[in-house]
Amino acid sequence: MSMILSTLFASLPRRANAQKQRFPDIAEFRGLVIAAIRRQPGVDTVVADPSDPARINSKIDDVDIGSDVTNLFGYLNSYPDEDADAAIERFARASAGARLSKVGENDLVAVIRTQQHIDQLKSMGTDPLHEPLVGELAVVYMADLPDSLSPVAPKDFPARALSDLRVIALNNVKKWLPKIVSDDGSDILHLYYVDGNTMLSTSLVLLDEFWLTISANFPGDVLFAVPRRDQLFVFDASNPKAQNAARQIIDVTFKDGFNLLSDKIFERRNGKLLAQA
């Protein structure tokens, strides 16, 4: 790894220093999560999916719900200082409780996902409210609940046009602008994330206000990468090393294997988001 990347990754908050995994077996870890889900109110049955060591099949208030522990497993192994019991409990509450939440306009946010993610939601019977963004990326509208982000459907806002919901969702994301944290790896690149709501970190690319706040560091065109759902990497496009640095960041992140979003490099040129060929 280059010196630039070594410096940047050393600065990331709470990143694991030890190579030994906290939870060495995902199937055993899934057992801990199943036990936590069973403690939630309204849970009828919770069973391990025999075809996938990370999947859980639940019936909650007569509704079939599928969940996957892959991202939680990877996160807790990469961030050993995190409270595992609390994280598992949040996951269990989210798995059991999202169906009960009353979603209002104050909860609506715009989240970056891939078209593949949208297809997966549809295959599970969900009708996600979404629109294309750039390349393989799309904007998915979700409810920002206490323990999770939950996709919303057009039927959840029957009296609202998508253009209205877009404005509402982006305004709700803008409320988090004061919580942006920047880790400066070098003059070439910065890492940005939203403290206290990291899953909105990639949503920053949608906000002109965000790009304005970082214009002192990046006055011209930029490259950006969103290899994980909770991190945004921005690179100075005028630097000849930017392309290689972006690719290395993506490759290293994908080796971690959790909360993955996109392995592509994108651009913001003259204020427009573009996908690299």
Instruction: Report percent pLDDT > 70 for the chain.
Output: 90
| Residues 74, 162 share a domain | no
| Residues 88, 148 share a domain | no
What is the rounded CA–CA span in Å between residue 261 and residue 269? 22
Residue ending a domain, choose from 38, 72, 100? 100
pLDDT at 20: 56
| Residues 270, 184 share a domain | yes
What is the rounded CA–CA span in Å between residue 51 and residue 161? 40
- Any residues with CB less than 8 A from the CB of 207 and at least 6 apart, and which? 170, 173, 174, 177
| Residues 196, 229 share a domain | yes
Per-residue confidence band for 250, with pLDDT thresholds at 50, 70 and 90: very high
- Provide the token pair at 118: 């949208």
Q: Does a structural domain hold residue 200?
A: yes
CB-neighbour burial class of residue 193 (10 A; exposed 0-12, middle 13-18, buried 19+): buried
pLDDT at 21: 67
pLDDT at 149: 87
Q: Which residue has the tokens 């999947």?
A: 55
Expressed as residue numbers, the domain containing 199 is 178-275
Span 135-151, mean pLDDT?
A: 91
Q: Does a structural domain hold residue 7?
A: no
- The domain total for the chain is 3
Residue ending a domain, choose from 67, 100, 133? 100
Residues 165-176 pLDDT 10s: 999 999 999 999
Under 8 Å between Cβ of 219 and 186: no
Q: Does a structural domain hold residue 3?
A: no
Q: Does a structural domain hold residue 21?
A: no
Per-residue confidence band for 102, with pLDDT thresholds at 50, 70 and 90: low
Per-residue confidence band for 3, with pLDDT thresholds at 50, 70 and 90: very low
Cross-strand bridge partners of residue 19: none
- Provide the token pair at 174: 């803008």
| Residues 226, 162 share a domain | no
Rg (CA), the chain: 19
Residue ending a domain, choose from 150, 174, 198? 174
Quick one: angle between helices 3-11 and 242-256, nearest 10? Answer: 50
What is the rounded CA–CA span in Å between residue 37 and residue 45? 9
Q: Is the pLDDT of residue 96 over 80?
A: no
Q: Is the pLDDT of residue 4 over 50?
A: no
Cross-strand bridge partners of residue 149: 144
Residues 45-54 pLDDT 10s: 899 999 999 9
Q: Does a structural domain hold residue 53?
A: yes
Under 8 Å between Cβ of 127 and 153: yes
Span 27-34, mean pLDDT?
A: 94
